[in-house]
Amino acid sequence: MACKICQQFVLTVYLCKPSKGSQEAFAIMSHSGTLYVVATPIGNLDDITLRAIETLQQVDLIAAEDTRHSKVLLQRLQINTPMVSHHDFSSEQAIKQIIDELQQGKSIALISDAGTPLISDPGYRLVSLAREQTIAVIPIPGPSAITAALSVAGLPTDRFAFEGFLPSKSAARLARLHELRFDTRSLIFYESTHRIVSSIDDMQTEFGPQRLLFVGRELTKKFETHFNGTVSDCLVWLQSDGNQQKGEFVIIVAGSEVASAQQQLQQDALHLVARLREHLPMKTAVALASELTGAKKNALYQLALDQERK
Ligand code: SAM
């Protein structure tokens, strides 16, 4: 069966199959339709890609997180492709129905309310089952709040971790942030209007007031705002203007400069020595800092000497 979009007669799907203890690539010919995972705008409807429009026009069916929501986008694009609802609470039966249609050769586009499907959005079970059934799954990439924020945050992008939404209860949220406090990668979180202040407050508890972060609010929309600075300044910014607490948020926290509690302790002790040195000789400053922080005296003395020689 010819694919409506790529015009190929059959699709070649490459799989990895264990063979005598090794992984060997082999090709199978699939006569199924294709599942297209299509990114849609995260606010500004002009951010739809040409390929997304073409795909949504040409597929047999669109599986949408919320059909009423997506109708607005499709109407604007003058696309009349039939839609079916697909969300996190879709039954196994409903997912199987989409798989059956794909296996009958239909092409289906998966979209979510905004951005890239599966990124804190529904679609995982469908994509995973489609792959199990060797149905071709093709990305139609485009907007996502993660990449939009990361591209403008001015924080390191060479290594980052997407943490999605933090838990809604403060105790669980603090526990999650505690696990992340020495992660040296940039950390990306999604947050809603209801919890933006409490989440930043909990970040201050776990990451400290001086950790740098970026907050992207309402990206690509009319009231887009960006914050760059320390966690404590961010809290002041949010609390001093209720309007800044409204909308959708991406938070990117700079990675930790120290990789362990031991290193953190040493760094805190070193800062203290530097302050004490304004009034005291080195030996006394180190002894006092060691007593107050619990850092090992000899190691601290050496580090403090090295720091002063720099
Ligand atoms: N699939 C989407 C994506 O690719 O980014 C994310 C969907 S998730 C349900 C919605 C969350 O993404 C929002 O609560 C917010 O944290 C973030 N988000 C989505 N659009 C945004 C925007 N325009 N500005 C800032 N954050 C946004």
- The pLDDT score that the predictor gives to residue 267 is 87
SS3 182: coil
Classify 294 in phi/psi space as left (phi over 0), alpha (psi -120 to 50) or beta. Answer: left
DSSP for 46-66, written as a single string: GG--HHHHHHHHHSSEEEES-
Instruction: Tell me whether strands 22-30 and 11-19 are parallel, antiparallel or unpaired.
Output: antiparallel
Ligand 1 atom nearest to CA at 145: 5
Return the residue whose CA atom lies nearest to atom 23 of ligand 1. 219
Per CATH, the homologous superfamily of domain 146-162+186-255 is: Tetrapyrrole methylase, C-terminal domain (3.30.950.10)
Testing ligand 1's pocket by substitution, the residue of 70, 112, 249 carrying the most ligand atoms inside 8 A of its CB is: 249
Output the CA 91–ligand 1 centroid distance in Å.
Answer: 25
pLDDT digits 0-9 by tens, 110-152: 999 999 999 999 999 999 999 999 999 999 999 999 999 999 9
Tokens of 277: 């040195």
Query: Domains of the chain: which residue ranges?
Result: 4-143, 146-162+186-255, 259-309
Ligand 1 atom nearest to CA at 149: 25
User: What is the identity of the amino acid at 291?
Assistant: E
190 touches ligand 1 (CB under 6 Å): yes
Output the CA 24–ligand 1 centroid distance in Å.
Answer: 39
CATH fold of the domain at 4-143: Cobalt-precorrin-4 Transmethylase; domain 1 (3.40.1010)
Write out the H or E segment, with its range, that includes residue 235: helix 231-240
Which residue stretches of the chain have pLDDT < 50?
1-3, 6-29
Output the CA 221–ligand 1 centroid distance in Å.
Answer: 12
Whole-prediction pTM value?
0.85
Distance CA 177, CA 7 (A): 48
DSSP for 82-125, written as a single string: -EEE--TT--HHHHHHHHHHHHTT--EEEE-SSBSTTSSSS-HH
